Chains A and B, each alone.
Chain A
Amino acid sequence: MTALPASGIPALAANTRVPATLPSPAPDSAFQGAETVREAPVADWVTLADLREDPFPIYRRLRAEAPVHWVPAVNRYMVVSYDACHTVEQDADTFSANEEGSLMKRAMGHSMLRKDDPEHRADRDSYGSTLRPGTIKNHWMEIFERNHRRYLDQLKAKGPGADFVWDYAAPYAAENLRLICGFHNATQEDLQRWSQTMIDGTGNYADDPEVWAKAAASSAEVDAAIDEMLVYLKDRPDPSLLSGLASMPIPLEAIRANLKMTIGGGLNEPRDVLATTAWALLSCPEQLEAVRSEPKLWAAAFEESVRWVAPIGMYPRQTTRETVLGGVRLPAGAKLGVVLGSANRDPKVWEDPESFNVLRAKKPHLAFGGGQHFCAGAWVGRASVAQVALPGAFAELRNLRLEPAGSAIAAGWVFRGMTSMPVAWD
């Protein structure tokens, strides 16, 4: 069984600069009884450019040094070990999602993703059964099949040289999301534009006014589209989120913020896991053959893909009190980046963690997050990607291959996926 090499694109990985000198760890100090506690090591060698290009060699070095680091370039403590990330997920009292000064709140409003229970719970419950397996089976699967057919036909019409991400995975994910949300007054292209511009706002640490202007324009468009659909869907109910919300006593402000979060969080993820999984399988012919001969393995390929490259690689938390995490002292109010992309490659949990291997022993990964913020769209992602798109595309595109070879590009670390993936078939 051929396993993929450690880092996304070998050619790019070779260029990643990771200096050889290590920052000296801060002296240990006594704290909380017998446990040895130290100050966070300062990872001043980490740069945003390196993280964007290929974060995995950086995570490897960080994990080897300590479970938690202060990273000046990110202006956060980065939590990189599986155990420490898991601890954060299980303790919402100490590690709050309601981050001060959150750019996501500015770009999208205060959604459930940045609330703690019980406020979070009320918002989460307002999504009802739309994203649950029963509704997926009884309603959405047929729609996923139809959208898959439509966008695969468009890819085929474009012919070899078409881009698997932009000519198939992106419009497929966007059209599914449009209907799940209930935006009957918008197009999948609108969803893609809204999603990207608002996500750019949530990551606008450089405070670029043009980025804010585009995010604000999309936010206003989404508000107008929601207002219109809430009225329309009251008389014409369907299984969509907005239809359920139309008859629910929930503040408009929360509806708007939650829908914007969903537009941001529900598009890139299925798009990226679809393309990343296809890319990984096309790069490992023996693994692709194994999946083709045992269709049950599509589900395993999906789970291994999100473990290997989590589409959301990092999310923020803030401490509510002074605490110790992975032996590292954190002050009250500390801003954390919980790096799932690193936790999922922790060698303390997985054997040969840097390799993509659909046949590896199954263990719980953290790609969907955990605890109260466990991804609400997890089952939609599994159904639309692992049950419909992947088996469908590989069955129909005979001898699908990466062509020209070596031209596919993966990028990003907070969000990571294929940014270019030209393909050919017979």
Chain B
Amino acid sequence: MPTITYIQPDGTAEAMTVEDGTTLMRAAVTSGVDGIVGECGGQAMCATCHVYVRPEFAGRLPQIGDDEDEMLDCTTAERTDRSRLGCQISVDAGLDGIVVDVPADQV
């Protein structure tokens, strides 16, 4: 089972092991990670599961789809080239050990 690490803006790290195929949003919401809301339940509709993925994992991420792309323009914290919606990234063995930074603002 893969591991995900969420880093809060103050540097606090939370690591968790999840079932294959769990999204970055669902894992965070289920475990109560601060700063990841996931209002729309994973439909790429609300832009409240914004995360910054550490660059060393960029090459292993799925492409940004059209819905995700337009929603990333609606995030509260600044969009950067590391920005992704947590609900659009399922974590499996290929992304084991992924580290993401949680933005300071989500709503």
A362, CB-defined interface residue at 8 Å: yes
Q: Quick check: is A134 within 8 A (CB to CB) of the other chain?
A: yes
A-side contacts of B105, CB under 8 Å: 362
| Known A-B contacts A363-B107, A364-B107, A374-B45; A132 and B70 likewise in contact (beta carbons under 8 Å) | yes
Closest partner residue, chain B, to A376 (CB atom)? B45
B26 smallest CB distance to A (angstroms): 10
**A132-B39 CB under 8 A given contacts A362-B107, A364-B106:** no
Whether B41 sits at the interface, judged by CB under 8 Å, is yes
| Nearest A residue to B47, CB-CB | A133
> Main secondary structure on chain B at its contact with chain A?
loop
Contact: B106 with A134, CB < 8 Å? no
- Beyond A133-B73, A364-B48, whether A374 also contacts B107 by CB under 8 A is no
- B46 within 8 A of partner (CB): yes
CB of A303 within 8 A of chain B? yes
Q: A363-B107, A364-B48 are in contact. Are A134 and B70 (CB under 8 A)?
A: yes
A interface with B by C-beta (< 8 Å): 89-90, 124, 129, 132-134, 303, 362-364, 368, 370-372, 374, 376, 378-379
Contacts between chains A and B (CB distance < 8 A), count: 44
For residue A374, which residue of chain B has the nearest CB? B40
Q: Report the bound CA distance from A379 to B76 in whole Å.
A: 14
Answer whether A372 and B41 are a contact pair too, CB < 8 Å, given A132-B70, A133-B74, A379-B74: yes
**Can you name 26 A-B pairs with beta carbons within 8 Å?**
A89-B41, A90-B41, A132-B45, A132-B67, A132-B70, A133-B74, A134-B66, A303-B107, A363-B107, A364-B39, A364-B106, A368-B39, A368-B46, A370-B39, A370-B40, A370-B41, A371-B40, A371-B41, A372-B43, A374-B39, A374-B40, A374-B45, A374-B46, A378-B45, A378-B46, A379-B74
Inter-chain contacts of A368 with B (CB < 8 A): 39, 46
Least CB distance from B59 to A in Å reads 27
Q: How many residues on the B side are at the interface (Cβ–Cβ under 8 A)?
A: 19
Chain B residues in 8 Å Cβ range of A374: 39-41, 43, 45-46
For B37, B45, B106, which residue has the most chain A Cβ atoms within 10 angstroms? B45
User: How far, in Å, is A60 (CB) from chain B's closest CB?
Assistant: 24
Q: List, in ascending order, chain B residues with CB within 8 A of A376's CB.
A: 45
- Docked CA distance A188–B73 (Å): 32
State in angstroms the CA–CA spacing of A378 and B47 once bound together. Answer: 12
**Residues 61 to 80 of chain B near chain A (Cβ within 8 Å):** 66-67, 70-71, 73-74, 76
Q: State whether the Cβ of B29 lies closer than 8 Å to any Cβ in chain A.
A: yes
Chain A residue with minimal CB distance to B73? A133
CB distance from B76 to the nearest CB of A (A): 8
CB distance from A307 to the nearest CB of B (A): 10
Cα of A129 to Cα of B37 in the assembled complex, Å: 23
Rounded to whole Å, the gap between the CB of A256 and the closest CB of chain B is 23
Q: Mark B26-57, 1 if CB is under 8 A from A, else 0.
A: 00010000000101110101101000000000
What 1/0 flags go to B65-107 for Cβ under 8 Å of A?
0110011011010000000000000000000000000000111
In the complex, chain A residues whose CB is within 8 Å of the CB of B66: 134
Residue of B nearest to A362 (CB): B107
> Which residue on chain B has the smallest CB distance to residue A121?
B43
Q: What residues of B have a CB within 8 angstroms of the CB of A363 in the complex?
A: 107
Name the CB-closest residue of A to B67.
A132
B102 to chain A, nearest CB (A): 14
Residues of B within 8 Å of A364, CB to CB, are: 37, 39, 48, 106-107
- A residues less than 8 Å from B29 (CB atoms): 90
Chain B residues, CB < 8 A from A133: 70-71, 73-74
